[in-house]
Chain A
Amino acid sequence: GAVVSQHPSWVICKSGTSVKIECRSLDFQATTMFWYRQFPKQSLMLMATSNEGSKATYEQGVEKDKFLINHASLTLSTLTVTSAHPEDSSFYICSASEQGTPYEQYFGPGTRLTVT
């Protein structure tokens, strides 16, 4: 149980275009989902926290107009990287927690974004 999936697993896009990444909880309802970014050989950095039906809370330094997060249902959150640039190339990972067990965050497999 407690499986989180991401789609796509990798994507290559041209500079200036937008890319949408999906995060799904497959066998539980995720009241809270988190988005992290990880650059090569670095740690995960929290980008934003989203609760179903609410606006996402962004960490300091993360542009909310550039990284659009939608958490429209209890099983799906999306991250859209708008007007992507090469410096946005990174590994994007989502996690989800279930109501009643907020301490347990289940991570997705990540999405590798490369902007050319």
Chain B
Amino acid sequence: GESVGLHLPTLSVQEGDNSIINCAYSNSASDYFIWYKQESGKGPQFIIDIRSNMDKRQGQRVTVLLNKTVKHLSLQIAATQPGDSAVYFCAGGSGGGADGLTFGKGTHLIIQP
């Protein structure tokens, strides 16, 4: 079955620096990927998504890169702020959105002052 995993469970960065969170996936049938941010005790919050026919997408302070050759995607957060502290999950979907998402293990991003 499909699995989506993250390389690092915890990432600590200085405030103002850029953060890069990585994710690997195994299911070639995944046709879109989403990054979510989850704060303690809350539901996931959408950050950015990317379709499988793209290799890069930019949002406000965030960029997602997709490398289908090695089945890898990353989330780049520019100029991290204290409010960016959270657990970040990548998730993969298929079936044109009809199927539920497969989530990775999560990376806890810690912003140091």
Note whether A and B form a binding pair: yes
The reply to whether A102 and B96 contact each other, CB–CB distance below 8 Å, is yes
* Total interface residues in chain A, CB < 8 Å: 27
One digit per residue, 1 when the CB lies within 8 angstroms of any chain A CB and 0 when it does not, for chain B 90-106 equals 01010011111111111
Known: A103-B49, A103-B93. A109 touches B43 (CB 8 A): yes
Q: In chain B between 44 and 71, which residues have their CB closer than 8 angstroms to a CB of chain A?
A: 44-46, 49, 51
CB neighbours of B100 from chain A (8 A): 34, 36, 46, 48-49, 59
How far is it, in angstroms, between the C-alpha of A48 and the C-alpha of B100 when the chains are bound? Answer: 8
A72 within 8 A of B: no
Using Cβ atoms and an 8 Å threshold, which residues of chain A touch B43?
Answer: 4, 6, 93, 107-110
Q: A44 on the interface (CB 8 Å rule)?
A: yes
CA distance A101 to B103 in the complex (A): 20
Instruction: Report if A106 contacts B (CB, 8 A).
Output: yes
Q: Does A89 reach chain B (CB closer than 8 Å)?
A: no
> Roughly how many angstroms separate A87 CA and B100 CA in the complex, as a whole number?
23
Interface residues of A: mostly helix, strand, loop or mixed? strand
Cβ–Cβ < 8 Å partners of A75 in chain B: none
Task: Find out whether the CB atom of B89 lies under 8 angstroms from the CB atom of A110.
Answer: no
A43-B106, A45-B103, A105-B46 are known; give 8 further A-B pairs, CB within 8 A. A34-B101, A43-B104, A44-B44, A46-B102, A49-B98, A59-B100, A103-B49, A104-B49
Q: Give me the interface of B with A, judged by CB distance under 8 Å.
A: 32, 34, 36, 41-46, 49, 51, 89, 91, 93, 96-106
Question: Please, could you name 23 A-B residue pairs with CB atoms under 8 Å apart, sorted by A?
Answer: A4-B43, A6-B43, A34-B100, A34-B101, A42-B105, A43-B103, A43-B104, A46-B101, A46-B102, A48-B100, A49-B99, A93-B44, A97-B97, A103-B32, A103-B51, A103-B96, A105-B34, A105-B101, A107-B43, A108-B43, A109-B43, A110-B41, A110-B43
